Chain A
Amino acid sequence: MSLFLLNDIVVFIFIEVILLLLLFISEFSVLKVLKYWDFSATTTFQYALEKRNYLVNTIIYFTVSVKIVLFIFFVKSLDELSLLVPGAMCATGVIGANSYGNILLLFKIFMLFLLSIWIIINKLDLESKVFPYIKEKYYLFSFIFVLTCIEFCLELFYFMNIPLSVPVFCCSTVFKLDNLPFELNTSGLLIIYYLLFVVILISSYYKKSIISFFANILFLFTSYYAVTYFFGTYIYELPNHKCPFCMLQKEYFYVGYFIWFSLFLGVFFGISPYIIESITLKKYTYLHKYCILFTTIFVALSTYFVVSYYLKNGVLL
């Protein structure tokens, strides 16, 4: 039995190949532009290059929208795969089934971040009349293209190496409390979590991109641990159920999607101003307000479960 014959995986790989093909076509244009671009020239060739710009834009817009849909599909499929993979109760077991799983998941999130940053730079580029960032944006594109190829290989390796006879670990064994980094305890983690939240709010409000950048990166990791080891237990209402994936399931009203997406969006809007500023060398503070919005949603949502549990039961877990 091969996983490559599963409906979901077949469809997933098929769409990924299509995207890769499209990106390959645009990479061809990108290389041409990088090599011959000369804005001051008035040749037909230069005008043709300018037109190629729109092809790349269209393809990237398409890719990003499809990638977002595919990302949800990917997570959903992993959830379903847990029925097939022995020992797996939820996506945790499937993701942890081999060493590629976690890297792949991180990669996918990172790719969405990069693609979104590309779209923002592209927007700035098109708003100006002289294509000021065209080289930067195309170098970034080439980087994204290489990463997409690596991502695709990782996907193949990952699906090839999911064991279907040997049981994998389930979330109750993977996530144990003593797994917290730096020998933190739960209260320490929570202090850092809320402290970082305040730092992000302040830095975003005063539009300090660099502080927001570092705070958000730290916040991403802190939140991961905080949600998995603390807030998650209140969502499941079980003190020992520590898992970042189970909350994506229907039993918990898909609340995981809201939690994780608000976190990712918040972090994205928090770190992208600094990256964009360092590429375009201009102030870009437009996104900070979204960072505040989504981070607040995330923190409110995660805190809500603890508070509502406390109000209902009068005790904490």
Chain B
Amino acid sequence: MINKNFVDFSILLLLKDKKEYLFSFFIFTFIVFLASSILFISDSIKHDLFIALDKQHQIIVKNTKSGRYTPLSEEHIDSILQISGVDNVKGKVDGYYYFAQDRRYFHIVVDESLDEHSMIISSEIKSILAKFKYTTQFNFLTQDGITSLDIKKVIKSNIISNDVILVNEDIARKILNMDEDEYSYLDVLVPNNSEIDFISLKIVDLYPDIKVKTKNDLKSDYEYVFYYKGGIFMILYIVSMISFFILLKNQISSVFGEKKREIAIFRSIGFAIKDIIFLKFIQNSVVALCSYFLGVFLAYIFVFIFGAPLLKNIFLGHDASHIIFTPIVDVKTLFVMFIFTVIPFLASILLPAWKIAVEDMSEVIK
């Protein structure tokens, strides 16, 4: 049914008038590029987060007082251990150190294998410290004066290690100003997965102030954030798309209007109305498909090869220059993008194409 000569001829005409199509081609490529960049970034972050979640503890217990997080004590550990089904409860120290000179927080994480004089930092933090001439060691300002630690190792920044400083537990308590028997959170080990929900309810029964998060809670939290915020992006997108398509429709109408005579010539040599509509449809499909693929390809290169400068900061804040996104290409995402961009594009040319096709042919006879 599709006639090769006809398709060839449509493309010949498209190339002849390429100037008229350049505008829509570039804008559309840009829209696809932007949208797919955002989807690529969020897919990639999501992928990394879910990997991180894999190694998380089954139940995480945090204490709150008047709505703020406060440390937990040994007493909490003891009473949670009493609950049947709980295998082990580990108290963990973890928190944020405020680095006033650069006005930012460092995430202090405990690594048991380190001694009292060294720390491991992420490459992001390394470059921040280098700004202030700390190249081999760093001085933490604590209540008891200065604690000086050597930089033992630098680890690569990724989505969760970006602002991390790994230190010994005692040093961590010192930096975070926590007592010997204080813990930032508890890590509850439950051998039987089906008991997790039940046990977390029990913990809340014991201490109404305590916040309990299970792994599944976290998982759905992530899902929630990504679906939800993705949707907000989408809605912003729809607004911009609608304005683009209105623009496109007007632009196409005017381009088609200039081509009135040409269309009348084609009609006079035997092109039917449906042929003209089909001709315009082929031409615009070629434009739309080329822009779509070009946009997606450029987005891939921009996000995963160049690391998405500028756009990255929308997602991760300003201190994220060292994060490299894991290249994740989800066919479903591309399919969604395709439906979302190409179909409205083609829909917006149907009406102008018909209008120009049914123009009467009196123009040719004069």
Chain A residues within 8 Å of B, Cβ to Cβ: 1, 4-11, 14-15, 18-19, 22, 25, 48, 51, 54-55, 57-59, 62, 66, 69-70, 73, 76, 80, 83-84
CB contacts (< 8 Å) of B12 on chain A: these are none
Contacts of B8 in A (CB 8 A): none
In the complex, the chain B residue whose C-beta lies closest to that of A7 is B230
Across-interface contacts of B228 in A (CB, < 8 A): 1, 5-6
Quick check: is B224 within 8 A (CB to CB) of the other chain?
Answer: yes
Contact A54 B273 (CB under 8 A): yes
Say whether B235 contacts A11, CB under 8 Å: no
Closest residue on chain A to residue B226 by CB atoms: A7
State whether the Cβ of B340 lies closer than 8 Å to any Cβ in chain A.
yes
In the bound assembly, the distance between CA atoms of A59 and B353 in angstroms comes to 11
B235→A5 contact, CB < 8 A: yes
Rounded to whole Å, the gap between the CB of B32 and the closest CB of chain A is 14
The interface residues of chain A lying within 8 Å CB-to-CB of B224 are 1
Which of B231, B344, B358 has most chain A Cβ within 10 Å? B231
* Nearest CB of chain A from residue B313's CB, rounded to whole Å: 22
Collect the chain A residues with CB atoms within 8 Å of residue B235's CB.
5, 10
Whether the Cβ atoms of B336 and A11 lie closer than 8 Å is yes
Shortest A134–chain B CB gap in Å is: 16
Contact A62 B347 (CB under 8 A): yes
Quote the shortest CB–CB distance from B257 to chain A (angstroms). Answer: 17
User: B227 contacts the other chain (Cβ, under 8 Å)?
Assistant: yes
Q: Verify B234–A7 contact, CB threshold 8 A.
A: yes
Give B residues with C-beta under 8 Å from A. Answer: 39, 220, 223-224, 227-228, 230-232, 234-235, 238, 273-274, 277, 332, 335-336, 339-340, 343-344, 346-347, 350-351, 353-354, 357-358
Which B residues lie within 8 Å of A84 (CB)? 220, 223, 227
The SS class assigned to the B binding surface is helix
Residues A5 and B351 in contact, CB atoms below 8 Å apart: no
In the complex with contacts A14-B238, A54-B354, A7-B336 CB distance below 8 A: yes
- Asked if B231 and A15 make an inter-chain contact with CB atoms under 8 angstroms apart, the answer reads no
Return chain B residues, CB-CB under 8 Å to A10.
231, 234-235, 238
Given A54-B274, A54-B358, check contact A6 B230 (CB 8 Å): yes
Q: Please measure, in the bound complex, the distance between the C-alpha atom of A48 and the C-alpha atom of B346, giving whole angstroms.
A: 24
Taking CB atoms, residues of chain B closer than 8 Å to A83 are 223
In the complex, the answer to whether A66 meets B343 with C-beta atoms within 8 Å is yes
Cα distance A191–B343 in the bound complex, in angstroms: 45
**Docked CA distance A250–B273 (Å):** 44
Known: A5-B227, A6-B231, A14-B238. 10 other contacts (CB 8 A): A1-B224, A6-B227, A11-B339, A14-B344, A18-B347, A55-B354, A58-B277, A58-B354, A69-B339, A76-B332
- Interchain CA distance A10-B344 in the complex, whole Å: 14
Nearest 8 CB-CB pairings of A with B: A5-B231, A51-B358, A10-B234, A54-B273, A55-B354, A11-B340, A7-B230, A6-B227
A58 touches B274 (CB 8 A): yes
| Smallest CB separation, A68 vs chain B (Å) | 12
Q: Cβ of B343 and Cβ of A18 under 8 Å apart?
A: yes
Q: A5-B232, A54-B358, A80-B332 are in contact. Are A22 and B238 (CB under 8 A)?
A: no
Are B335 and A73 neighbours in the complex by a CB distance under 8 Å?
A: yes
CB distance from B333 to the nearest CB of A (A): 9
- Note all chain A residues with C-beta closer than 8 A to B350: 22, 55, 58-59, 62
- For the complex, what is the distance from the CA of A309 to the CA of B229, rounded to whole Å? 46
- Smallest Cβ-Cβ distance to A63: which chain B residue: B347
In the complex with contacts A10-B234, A62-B346, A54-B277 CB distance below 8 A: yes
The distance in angstroms between the C-alpha atoms of A62 and B274, with both chains bound, is 13
* A7 contacts B231, C-beta separation under 8 Å: yes
A157 to B366, CA, bound (A): 58
Cβ contact within 8 Å between A54 and B357: yes
B-side contacts of A7, CB under 8 Å? 39, 227, 230-231, 234, 336
Contacts of A66 in B (CB 8 A): 343, 347
Q: Select which of A22, A69, A73 is within 8 A of B347 by beta carbon.
A: A22
CA distance A58 to B238 in the complex (A): 25
For B220, the chain A residues whose CB sits under 8 A away are 84
- Whole-angstrom distance between the Cβ of A102 and the nearest chain B Cβ: 24
User: Which B residues are in CB contact (< 8 Å) with A14?
Assistant: 238, 340, 344
Residue in A14, A25, A57 whose Cβ sees the most chain B Cβ within 10 Å: A14
A70-B335 Cα distance, complex, nearest whole Å: 11
B277 contact set on A, CB distance < 8 A: 54, 58
Give complex CA distance A136, B340 in Å: 34
With CB as the reference atom, state the residue of chain A lying closest to B274: A54
Name the CB-closest residue of A to B219. A83
